[in-house]
Copies of this chain bind each other. A is one copy, B any other.
Amino acid sequence: MSLTSSEENYIKAIFQLQVKDGMVSTNEVAAVLQTSAASVTDMLKKLKTKKLLVYEKYKGFKLNGEGRKLALMVLRKHRLWETFLVKILHFNWDEVHEVAEQLEHIQSQQLIDHLDDFLGNPAFDPHGDPIPDATGKMPFQSQMNLNKFPFQINGEVTAVGSQSPDILSLLEHKKITIGARIKVLQRFAFDNSFEIQINNKEQAHISAQLAEQIYVKKL
Chain A positions near chain B (C-beta within 8 angstroms): 85, 88-91, 95, 98-99, 102-103, 106-108, 110-111, 114-115, 118
What 7 A-B pairs have minimum CB-CB distances, sorted nearest first? A89-B114, A99-B108, A102-B106, A99-B111, A89-B118, A103-B106, A88-B118
CB neighbours (8 Å) of A111 from chain B are: 85, 89, 99
Q: Please state the number of chain copies in the assembly.
A: 2
Report Cα–Cα, A118/B91, bound state, in Å: 12
What are 18 residue pairs bridging A and B, where the CB atoms are less than 8 Å apart in the complex? A85-B111, A85-B114, A88-B118, A89-B111, A89-B114, A89-B115, A89-B118, A90-B114, A91-B110, A91-B114, A95-B110, A98-B108, A99-B106, A99-B110, A99-B111, A102-B106, A102-B107, A103-B106
Main secondary structure of the interface of A (DSSP, over half): helix
- Alpha-carbon distance between A106 and B100 when the two chains are bound, in angstroms: 10
Given contacts A88-B118, A89-B114, A89-B115, 18 further A-B contacts (CB under 8 A): A85-B111, A85-B114, A89-B111, A89-B118, A90-B114, A91-B110, A91-B114, A95-B110, A98-B108, A99-B106, A99-B108, A99-B110, A99-B111, A102-B106, A102-B107, A102-B108, A103-B103, A103-B106
Residue of B nearest to A90 (CB): B114
